[in-house]
Structure 1
Amino acid sequence: RRQAICLLSGGMDSTFAAYWAKYHSPTIVPRYAVFFNYGQKGAGFEWKAAKSVADVLGIQAIYYNVQTLAPHLHGAIMQGMALPDDPQLKDDKGNVATFVPGRNLIQLSLLAGLLYSTG
């Protein structure tokens, strides 16, 4: 099986994906579980959850602190605003409050560097 990196936020989706990759994937096995702190309000709690999941799965957890980007990114979770009661409520640009522009591209770029560096 090929080694892989899991993005692990500590939430249900990424936890399930890491568990599935570890125990059920016929082609990959997770080598690292990577968490990104980009300034989101729940980062401390999320990191604890992600680290716990990685420990249970026996995967090395890596913490990337990219908070210097926070002032340049839009979204309620980045600006310290309270999230609306309706998670589907959109801002004036049509984005939900939890949307962070470019977040996935930033994460994928850093993960590509990690993959290249670690083989």
Structure 2
Amino acid sequence: MLKKAVVLLSGGMDSTTALYIAKSQGYEIYAISFNYGQRHFKELECAKIISEKAGVKEHIIVNTNMDAWGGSALTDSSISVPDSNIHNGKIPITYVPARNMIFLSFAASYAEVIGAQDIFIGVSEVDYSGYVDCRQEFIDAMENAINFGTVCAVEEGKKIKIHAPLVCMTKSDEIKLGIKLGVDYSLTWTCYRGEELACGTCDSCSLRLKAFKEAGEKDPLQYTVI
């Protein structure tokens, strides 16, 4: 029987690569995506297609209304998504407060129910926008909390491990690895603005374009501006 893994799948480049890494390690994949009121909800359609192509065992979409309190350009329509300024050293307004904390909590609940002891998340603290919930320290703290707060860990000794395989990897190296693993990056969505074509100028697009250039590969997405 294959080991089960819950993979947080946004439909973006990083989470898709993490899914294929888990798959390459022989896990039976259970993907979990979130409709949290994000303006770029197009990524959820990508997540569905990616799940089908990757042959995941189950893909569920959890509805949370994080747009009810906003606080981010991704969940608050009154805040515009700014153009990229990835070298300013400040946390950008596209940071969604406690998003990965919330997502990992859902993933832990899902994992406990299906009997999975492994969770994969595609965060990186190398090429990222400064989000505090993309650091290894945060991942370690969440893993610790999960194993103090789940019956499977406390009563049954079945601890849950959070895998962040991209956390110390540059995005260009991630792309090279993903291509080797069979990732079709044309199916992924990165842009924060949620329009028909990727904008090419937001933080997320800029990091993606930079990574493909450094990897010596052509980005298969269409952009409004590049």
TM-score under structure 1 length normalisation: 0.83
Q: Is 1:76 matched with 2:73?
A: yes
Shift of 1:96: 0.6
SS at match of 1:78: coil
Corresponding position of 1:34 = 32
The structure with more helix, counted as a fraction of residues: 1
Over 4 Å off, 4+ runs: none
- The structure whose Rg is larger is 2
SS at match of 1:108: helix
Corresponding position of 1:115 = 111
Corresponding position of 1:53 = 50
* Counterpart-to-counterpart distance in 1, 2:69 and 2:46: 26
Percent of aligned pairs with the same amino acid: 36
Q: Is the 8 A contact 1:6 1:30 kept in 2?
A: no
Q: Which runs of 5+ in 2 are unaligned?
A: 116-226
Corresponding position of 2:91 = 95
Shift of 1:55: 0.3
Q: Is the 8 A contact 2:9 2:47 kept in 1?
A: yes
Q: Which runs of 5+ in 1 are unaligned?
A: none
Q: For residues 75 and 88 of structure 1, do their structure 2 counterparts lie closer, same or farther at Cα, with a shift above 3 Å needed?
A: farther
The structure with more strand, counted as a fraction of residues: 1
Give the alignment's Cα RMSD to 1 decimal: 1.8
Moved more, 79-88 or 46-55: 79-88
Aligned residue pair count: 111
TM-score under structure 2 length normalisation: 0.46
Q: Is the 8 A contact 1:18 1:30 kept in 2?
A: no
Corresponding position of 2:17 = 16
